[in-house]
Amino acid sequence: MAEPANQAYTSLLAAKGLNAWYGESHILHGVDFEVHSGEVVTLLGRNGAGKTTTLKSIMGMVEKRTGSVLFQGQETVKLPSNRIAQLGVALCPEERAIFASLNVEENLLLPPEVAAGGLSLERIYELFPNLKERLKSQGTKLSGGEQQMLAIGRILRTGAKMLLLDEPTEGLAPVIVQQIGRTIARLKSEGFTIVLVEQNFRFAATVADRHYVMENGRVVDMIPNAQLDANMDKLHEYLGV
């Protein structure tokens, strides 16, 4: 279905008053933010601010959550994570979570297709040529950078158009960080919508449209990327850098 160009920036994902718990600990205290279709949005904040938990809550991977998460207008806060994935949301977790008992190819093919229009394997190998040479290696025998490429690559196949990337650049060499930055830019140009959790806001500034700042389980500020320089002092204070 072709959408009129002026509706390209409709809200694809909207969290309202999102609360989340791990066991007894209350981690998110009413998170509000929204992501438009085709945008790259980052969640910035210190360690423990609730960024990763926000991604996991969108994905339905926390024990308990309340509030509202609308995806394409559909309420998902009561759905189990497999149903949410089937709607077209995919997570690349912070720990990468490459499966040790699967080889690279099996890891890449593991997530089932949830919609038509995912990237073909050829496209994924074109983005990450290293993977193609290591298909029969055990997944966890790859270098950190290659594991990150595999963790991103495997969710591009599925047809999910909403990607949640949790610190994809953490602990990687600058040349790989650049490669991931270029990949995110290409995905955006192809119409993917991306929520990116980052500690490194200099990297975030190169790829994102808008930045949400989180503190103590809440979103406390939103800074459009164009106004990042003007807000640098404020941002330094938020992030404590």
Partner 1 sequence: MTEIFGVPTQALFGQLLIGLINGSFYALLSLGLAVIFGLLNIINFTHGAQYMMGAFVAYLLANKAGLGYWWSLALVPLIVGATGVVIERLMLSKLYKLDHLYGLLLTFGLALIIQGLFRNEYGTSGLPYPMPAELSGGTNLGFMFLPNYRAWVIVASAIVCLGSWFVIEKTKLGSYLRAATENPALVQAFGINVPRMITLTYGFGVALAAFAGVMAAPIYQVSPQMGADLIIVVFAVVVIGGMGSILGSILTGFGLGIIEGLTKVFYPEASNTVIFIIMAIVLMFRPAGLFGAQK
Contact residues: partner 1, CB under 8 A: 59-61, 80-82, 84-86, 90-91, 93, 97, 99-102, 106, 109-112, 114, 155, 158
> How crowded is the C-beta side of 103, counted as CA atoms within 13 Å?
7
The number of beta carbons lying within 10 Å of the beta carbon of residue 169 is: 23
Q: Please give the sequence-ordered ranges of beta strands (E in DSSP) within the chain, or none if there are none.
A: 11-22, 25-36, 40-45, 64-71, 74-75, 89-92, 162-166, 193-197, 210-215, 218-224
7-27: burial string, b at 16+ Cβ within 10 Å, e else: eeeeebbbbeebbbbeeeeeb
The sign one gets for the Cα dihedral 206, 210, 216, 220 is positive
Rounded Cα distance, 69 and 74, in Å: 8
Please state the closest distance from residue 84 (CB atom) to partner 1, in A. 8
CB of 63 or CB of 237, closer to partner 1:
63
User: For the chain, first and last CA: distance in Å?
Assistant: 46
Choice between 196 and 213, CB closer to partner 1: 196
Using the minimum distance from each CB to partner 1, give the nearer residue, 86 or 231: 86
Please identify, using beta-carbon distances, which residue of 48 and 112 lies nearer to partner 1: 112
> How far is Cα 88 from Cα 70, in angstroms, rounded to an integer?
13
Q: In whole angstroms, how close is the CB of 154 to partner 1 at the nearest point?
A: 8
Minimum CB separation from partner 1 for residue 98, in Å?
10
Q: Specify the residue, 8 or 109, whose C-beta has the smaller distance to partner 1.
A: 109
CA torsion 50-173-241-194 (nearest 10°) is -40
CB of 62 to partner 1, least distance (A): 10
Q: What's the closest the beta carbon of residue 71 comes to partner 1, in angstroms?
A: 14
CB of 97 to partner 1, least distance (A): 5
Q: Which is nearer to partner 1, 43 or 84 (CB)?
A: 84
Strand partners, 70: 14, 75
